[in-house]
Chain A
């Protein structure tokens, strides 16, 4: 698995965009970039994943740099319910997700 590096914590004002960075400079060509989040005392929730192209779904957008060494998860209009720990994981299909420490995002009123 690619080693990923994320800031330990971030704050974001409610209604603003939350941009969560992730460095994965050792990612290999067949490894996807996954994002999950974990709200306190719940199981992780899948957010989005991508390989090379930018991706968007109803929850978030994923921007992957052209060299694939970093990515940014964007929550376009953060709400208080988006307060959670966000995990960026590099992984080849078929293997288990290995969680790092993630970024603790606090959305404030």
Chain B
């Protein structure tokens, strides 16, 4: 299957700082990428849909000023968690779609805010 790489896999940051997570599609161009969040023992929750060259579409309840998404190229989308707080600690996962129906996921980023 196609490869989606997410970096970093783990990050610990201090409360009040910002963290950037990168999502790259390594062997295909992805016009659309998705960002999910997953709390322990819960399912994945869609946060936003990112389209290359345009503004991201956020799901209800997700603060767009807190979770900044940039999709500047067909192979890279970034999620920046601004002014992180302990309640933002979670597992963040990106997904990239190519033209065929299936979507492929990164390996996830474990964010811990202390």
- Residues of A that sit less than 8 Å from B by CB: 32, 34, 36, 38, 41-46, 49, 87, 93-94, 96-102
Contacts and interface: CB of A to CB of B under 8 A. Distances in A.
A46 B1 contact: yes
**Residues of B contacting A: mostly:** strand
B44 A96 contact: no
Interface stretch (B14-22, B71-79, B82-90, B95-103): B95-103
Given A43-B6, A43-B93, A44-B93, A99 B107 contact: no
B68 interface: no
A24 B79 CA distance: 33
Nearest to A100: B43
Contact of B101 (A93, A98, A100): A93
B110 interface: yes
Interface residues of B, number: 24
Given A49-B101, A99-B44, A101-B43, A41 B110 contact: yes
A31 to B, nearest CB: 10
Contacts of B102: 34, 46, 49
B34 interface: yes
B67 interface: no
A43 B108 contact: yes
Nearest to B100: A93
Interface in B30-79: 32, 34, 36, 43-46, 49
Contact of B49 (A32, A45, A93, A96): A96
